[in-house]
Amino acid sequence: MKNRDDRFDTLKGFLIILVVFGHLLDQKVFFADLDMPIVDAIYACIYSFHMPAMVLISGYFSKQGETGPGYYRKLTRSYLIPFAVFDLLQWLVTSRKLNVLLTPRFSMWFLLSLFFWKLLLPAVRSFRFPLLLSLGFALFAGLTKASTFLSVSRTITFLPFFLAGYYLRSEQIEKLRRIPKILPALVLLLSLALAFFLSMQGVTPKIYHMKESFQKLSLTAGKGLLLRALVLIAGFAASFSLIALVPGRKTPLTALGTRTISVYLFHGLIIKILLLLGPDVQLGRQSLALLGAAVFTAAICLLFGSRFAARGFHAVMDRIGRLLLKDSE
């Protein structure tokens, strides 16, 4: 039985490029002038859908091998150990403060949240209307002081996307893909237009991170709830639109989509090291800065998305897993 879907691999390849590019914009790696409204708007557009779509895809494929012997061991080897290794490396490169050791750095939250989502699936499935409940929690979490400690806040707020993917059936996906392409294309454009408009109106791009309280973002409860609802709606609309639009044939992005984990883990470490070294490559013009970020994104994806890098990564993680975990019985 074929476990991979070329269309999802193509979509994952596209999304991992946006992840790297978005993080370069987020960290202002090539930007001498931090006040760049167009760059901020592009950043908002990317963040409005790239992680919701990535989480939704992860949920869809979580149906495979979710039960049976060795499930929790597999979760630990696939997610918890890589998270611990690379989060520790980023901690050594950046803060080295003990009080933040268990607060995931930068992009590392996703791997830890993914571990928790998969770990909690049996409990979540026992509830009636789990997707509806998760939407309520995600919406009102901004009114609380849900912490970034152990990625608690994002585990709650991105859970609806994970569950939507988990409960999405292959027949529903085929129906999506039979919709005339003009309709999902328009929905995607409207979602991006909303993100662009909100950014140009001064709405902080941090609203898409969904990790901080509305109070911390200087938002009233009403405005915070409205913006969180728009973020959730736009994230779903864009994610399903992308699934409907992705081509059925293999593309140059398909192979990259099979190796996203090595790109995801290494790019954050490289960016943090680059910022620590502080090379004088900041560009004043928005167009040049965007071009610099695009070139660096391509280099990272080509290097760490290669077959050699992926094999090396899995070999090292497998060795660490064998060292830390007992053989399954």
Residue 96: inside a domain, yes or no? yes
Alpha carbon distance 181, 199 (integer Å):
27
Average pLDDT score over residue span 189-215: 95
Alpha carbon distance 76, 298 (integer Å):
31
Q: Within 10 Å of residue 172's Cβ, how many Cβ atoms?
A: 12
Residue 206: inside a domain, yes or no? yes
Percent pLDDT > 70 in the chain is: 93
pTM of the full structure: 0.94
* pLDDT one-digit tens code per residue, 19-46: 999 999 888 877 766 677 888 899 999 9
Burial 20-50 (b: 16+ CB within 10 A, else e): bbbbbbbbbbbbeeeebeebbbbbbbbbbbb
SS3 31: strand
Residue 275: inside a domain, yes or no? yes
Residue 98's pLDDT is 75
Q: What is the DSSP string of 145-198?
A: T--SGGGHHHHHHTHHHHHHHHH--HHHHHHHHTS-THHHHHHHHHHHHHHHHH
Residue 118: inside a domain, yes or no? yes
* pLDDT one-digit tens code per residue, 212-245: 999 999 999 999 999 999 999 999 999 999 999 9
* pLDDT one-digit tens code per residue, 91-139: 998 877 777 778 898 889 999 999 999 999 989 999 999 999 999 999 9
* pLDDT one-digit tens code per residue, 53-103: 999 999 999 986 666 668 888 999 999 999 999 999 999 988 777 777 788
Over the Cα atoms of the chain, what is R_g? Answer: 19
Average pLDDT score over residue span 275-299: 80
Q: Give 191's pLDDT tier (boundaries 50, 70, 90).
A: very high
Higher-pLDDT residue of 3, 146: 146
Residue 69's pLDDT is 67
On whether the CB atoms of residues 265 and 106 are closer than 8 A, the answer is: no
Residue 329: inside a domain, yes or no? no
On whether the CB atoms of residues 190 and 100 are closer than 8 A, the answer is: no
Q: Give 279's pLDDT tier (boundaries 50, 70, 90).
A: low
Segments forming the whole domain that contains residue 47: 6-324
Alpha carbon distance 304, 263 (integer Å):
5
Residue 1: inside a domain, yes or no? no
Residue 88: inside a domain, yes or no? yes
Average pLDDT score over residue span 251-269: 95
Residue 211: inside a domain, yes or no? yes
Residue 1's pLDDT is 39
Residue 122's pLDDT is 87
Six-digit token pair at 225? 């709830």
Q: Within 10 Å of residue 206's Cβ, how many Cβ atoms?
A: 14
Q: What is the DSSP string of 256-299?
A: HHTTHHHHHHHHHHHHHHHHHH--S--BSSHHHHHHHHHHHHHH
Average pLDDT, the chain: 91
Count how many domains the chain has. Answer: 1
Residue 282's pLDDT is 64
